[in-house]
């Protein structure tokens, strides 16, 4: 098992170095001189220009600049935003809980609905339930989620007036946010109605972000279940006279869950891409909207480090899922 | 009985017989057939757009701003699906938009498929350090969420439809490279490859004439998935203002322009998105059917 973990880790290091090269190279290939870009409209004298080049290290060979960049990253220096002048890392840490809360709710919705639906559809293969849910899953999988979000806003915020159009919290409430999760902080504040406000802001974005993972998980669970149900050990369990509930719940489901867990892990990348669109539509103050805003404001230090941090998170989560997979899959655990 | 059926079907192993077998399994999947019909209809609409569209997709009618669809109060038959905020006919824009979406799908899949096949065949065929370097580079591309990487690439290259297509092709290419490599690894030590090598076939011939045709089935399925994915991603980039630029009647760009009117004019938002959904759904239905028809493992069950 330890060998397995070390193997996975050693596999990640070249990928991570590659990611830093991409993030570093991205700013290099941008059109325009970085120093002149910083000077803006005012311009600068040739002496000042030389000085700035030297101070920022742009006069040195490119590989030295890269090693410098890597050295800073290792010390937690991700550069400063051109717009807010704040360290990128601190902006990221301020905004990340909003995305995490949204992504967490989305994945909970996707798993809690997707897995039972997939299991039932497999058990009742060919029934109307199977057909309706799997057709819906394919529609969900094909959904342009930015449009889906707008439709939900038209229906629930516009026509019915049930949910707010944007943001995380009504301005009527103000309370400290120690955890960064509005659902928890609003409860802790003890203010009446604060939790309901947080939940009503969260519900539509969560549904939108959950749509594609839900469809993928339902389809994957169904096909994993179908595969497992035709295995010999399930037939043996049935022949032993075990109750159908035990056959499905213990023998089939446990084995079917192994590929499904990998699928759930892979949804983290999907959630990050989805967060970009969902947060833009609902003006959700998380890292997805932050990235889009920074790209349109040409705040390149933020884009560069944001890209790196998001890829890093996706990689770490995929590693954790891989390890979890090793833990629950006896074939890997015992090898 | 056996005689008549045998005489009707072409000799086994010929391409006609393979096609017939493929169609037999594809037809089993009703959804796939519907998907195919819708897709063919979309291709026809895209090709015949100038004949079908009642209006020019770019010309603005200042006397008819935000006209609702014909069945609603205030709507008229001149603008069947209504007009947008500057008085352009939505139906005509949707019809011309089909051209962009299908064009985007074809271009992206062609670039990604050709690039991925070449890279994957080289990696799988030569192995060793070439394989290792190529696959690590693919891992790096796949480590980024695809839409985010495409967004950043477009920011570097400059917003626009061409750059958006290049960016999407780059981020979807590793899937083809990985699939090709995996199939090539499974095929390259087979006897027929050895036989071809002994017969004097060069590396190029072995890679692309001998091995590649036996690796195509998973690639075809991936190509349909990437086709619909490319349409979705291009629409998303258009929606974020990084894809096709206004006044291009691209569906994602139309949605971006419509956003501020969502609570006033539902039709400017609803129809472009519906067009994207129907197109992507039709292609995904076809993809499901292709997978069932091409995957021998599923055929048994």
Q: In the structure, what pLDDT confidence band is assigned to residue B13 with cuts at 50, 70 and 90? A: low
Whether the per-residue pLDDT at A17 is higher than 50: the answer is: yes
The share of chain B scoring above pLDDT 90, in percent, equals 41
Residue B89 β-bridge partners? B83
Task: Give CA–CA dist B186/B163, Å, rounded.
Answer: 35
pLDDT of residue A263: 85
- Helices B161-187 and B146-157 cross at an angle (nearest 10°) of 130
The whole-number pLDDT of residue A192 equals 78
What would the mean pLDDT of A176-180 be, rounded to a whole number?
77
Interchain pair A142, B263: CB under 8 A? no
Does the structure show a pLDDT above 70 at A31? no
Question: Cβ(B182)–Cβ(B248) under 8 Å?
Answer: no
A262-303 pLDDT per residue, tens: 888 888 888 988 999 999 999 999 999 999 999 888 788 888
Give just the sign of the alpha carbon dihedral B212, B214, B218, B222: positive
User: Would you call B266 and A276 a contact, using CB atoms and an 8 Å cutoff?
Assistant: no
Tokens of B163: 């750059």
Nearest to B240 among A148, A280, A303 (CB): A280
Give dist(CA A105, CA A109) in Å, integer.
6
At residue A325, the pLDDT reads 76
Contacts of A304 (CB under 8 A, 6+ apart): A23, A24, A26, A27, A79
Residue B2 pLDDT class (50, 70, 90 cuts)? very low
A304 to chain B: closest CA residue: B152
Residue B59 pLDDT exceeds 50: yes
Residues of A in CB contact (< 8 Å) with B are 14-15, 18-19, 21-22, 26, 29-30, 135, 138-139, 141-144, 146-148, 150-151, 153-154, 157-158, 226, 230, 269-270, 272-273, 276-277, 280, 291-292, 295-296, 298, 303, 307, 310-311, 314-315
pLDDT tens for A89-146 read 999 999 999 999 999 999 999 999 999 999 999 999 889 999 999 999 999 999 999 9
What does the pLDDT look like over B224-266, one tens digit per residue?
A: 989 999 999 999 999 998 988 888 899 999 999 888 888 888 8
Is B277 in Cβ contact with A269 (below 8 Å)?
no
Segment A221-263, tens digit of pLDDT? 999 999 888 888 888 888 888 888 888 877 888 888 888 888 8
- What is this structure's pTM? 0.87
Kindly list the distances between the CA atom of residue A8 and the CA atoms of A192, A332, B125, in Å, as whole numbers in the listed order.
48, 13, 25
pLDDT at B6: 42
A187 or A36, greater pLDDT: A187
Minimal C-alpha gap between B101 and chain A (Å)? 13
């Amino acid at each position: 098992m330890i060998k397995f973990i070390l193997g996975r880790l050693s596999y990640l290091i070249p990928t991570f170095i590659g990611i830093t090269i991409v993030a570093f190279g991205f700013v290099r290939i941008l059109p325009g001189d970085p120093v002149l870009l910083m000077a803006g409209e005012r311009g600068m004298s040739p002496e000042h220009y030389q000085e700035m080049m030297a101070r920022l290290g742009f006069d040195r060979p490119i590989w030295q600049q890269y090693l410098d960049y890597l050295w800073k990253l290792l010390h937690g220096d991700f550069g400063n935003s051109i717009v807010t002048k704040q360290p990128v890392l601190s902006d990221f840490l301020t905004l990340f809980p909003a995305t995490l809360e949204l992504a967490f709710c989305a994945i909970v919705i996707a798993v809690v609905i997707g897995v039972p639906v997939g299991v039932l559809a497999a058990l009742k293969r060919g029934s109307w339930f199977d057909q309706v849910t799997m057709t819906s899953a394919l529609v969900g999988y094909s959904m342009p989620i930015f449009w889906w979000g707008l439709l939900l806003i038209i229906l629930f915020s516009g026509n019915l007036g049930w949910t707010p159009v944007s943001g995380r919290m009504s301005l009527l409430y103000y309370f400290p946010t120690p955890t960064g999760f509005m659902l928890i902080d609003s409860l802790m504040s003890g203010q009446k109605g604060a939790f309901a406000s947080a939940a009503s802001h969260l519900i539509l974005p969560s549904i939108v972000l959950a749509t594609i993972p839900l469809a993928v998980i339902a389809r994957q669970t169904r096909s994993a279940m179908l595969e497992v149900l035709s295995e010999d050990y399930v037939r043996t369990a049935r022949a032993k006279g075990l109750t159908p509930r035990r056959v499905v719940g213990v023998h089939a489901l446990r084995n079917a869950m192994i590929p499904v867990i990998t699928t759930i892990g892979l949804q983290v990348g999907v959630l990050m891409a989805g967060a970009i669109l969902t947060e833009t539509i609902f003006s959700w103050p998380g890292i997805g909207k932050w990235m889009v805003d920074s790209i349109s404001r040409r705040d390149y230090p933020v884009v560069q480090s944001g890209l790196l941090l998001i890829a890093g998170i996706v990689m770490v989560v995929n590693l954790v899922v891989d390890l979890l997979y090793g833990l629950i899959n006896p074939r890997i655990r015992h090898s | 009985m056996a005689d008549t059926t045998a005489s009707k079907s072409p000799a086994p192993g010929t391409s006609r017989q393979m096609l017939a077998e493929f169609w037999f399994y594809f037809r089993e999947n009703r959804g796939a057939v519907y998907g195919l019909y819708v897709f063919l209809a979309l291709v026809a609409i895209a090709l015949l757009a100038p004949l079908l569209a009642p209006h020019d997709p770019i010309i603005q009618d200042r006397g008819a701003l935000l006209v609702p669809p014909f069945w609603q109060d205030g709507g008229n038959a001149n603008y069947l699906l209504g007009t947008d905020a500057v008085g352009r006919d939505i139906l005509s824009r949707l019809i011309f938009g089909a051209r962009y979406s299908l064009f985007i799908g074809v271009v992206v899949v062609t670039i990604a498929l050709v690039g991925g096949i070449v890279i994957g065949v080289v990696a799988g065929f030569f192995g060793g350090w070439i394989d290792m370097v190529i696959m690590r580079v693919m891992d790096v591309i796949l480590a980024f969420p695809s839409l985010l990487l495409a967004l950043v690439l477009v920011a570097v290259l400059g917003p626009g439809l061409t750059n958006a297509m290049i960016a999407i092709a780059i981020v979807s290419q590793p899937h083809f490279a990985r699939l090709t490599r995996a199939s090539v690894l499974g095929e390259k030590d087979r006897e027929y490859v050895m036989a071809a090598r002994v017969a004097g076939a060069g590396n190029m011939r072995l890679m692309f004439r001998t091995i590649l045709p036996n690796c195509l089935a998973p690639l075809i399925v991936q190509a349909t998935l990437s086709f619909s994915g490319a349409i979705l991603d291009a629409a998303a980039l258009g929606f974020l203002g990084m894809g096709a630029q206004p006044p291009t009647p691209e569906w994602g760009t139309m949605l971006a322009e419509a956003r501020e009117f969502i609570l006033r004019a539902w039709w400017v938002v609803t129809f472009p998105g519906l067009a994207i959904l129907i197109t992507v759904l039709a292609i995904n239905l076809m993809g499901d059917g292709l997978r069932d028809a091409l995957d021998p493992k599923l055929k048994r069950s």
